[in-house]
Structure 1
Amino acid sequence: MTLKFISTDKAPAAVGPYSQGVRAGNIIFTSGQLPIDL
């Protein structure tokens, strides 16, 4: 199964080695983000 990592520069950067999203076949896994004060 091929994994495709999904990211955008329009979202705050993760604090750690996390992906914003990963597509595995027909399934997309997304990660959440706690609110931050910019």
Structure 2
Amino acid sequence: MTSVEYKPARRERIREILIEIAVGVVTNLVVTALLSIAGLLF
């Protein structure tokens, strides 16, 4: 495994981690928004 092949793989992993974090944040915001709306309606 050369360093040239290693770097893109590492960058992909970092991107996956960032996507996971982004999805988690968005999910939390959506859940919070839904709970707020539900609180107003019911």
**TM superposition score normalised by structure 2:** 0.19
Q: Which structure has greater strand proportion?
A: 1
TM-score (norm 1): 0.20
Flag the structure with more relative contact order, 1 or 2, with Cα contacts below 8 A and sequence separation at least 6. Answer: 1
Higher fraction of helix: 2
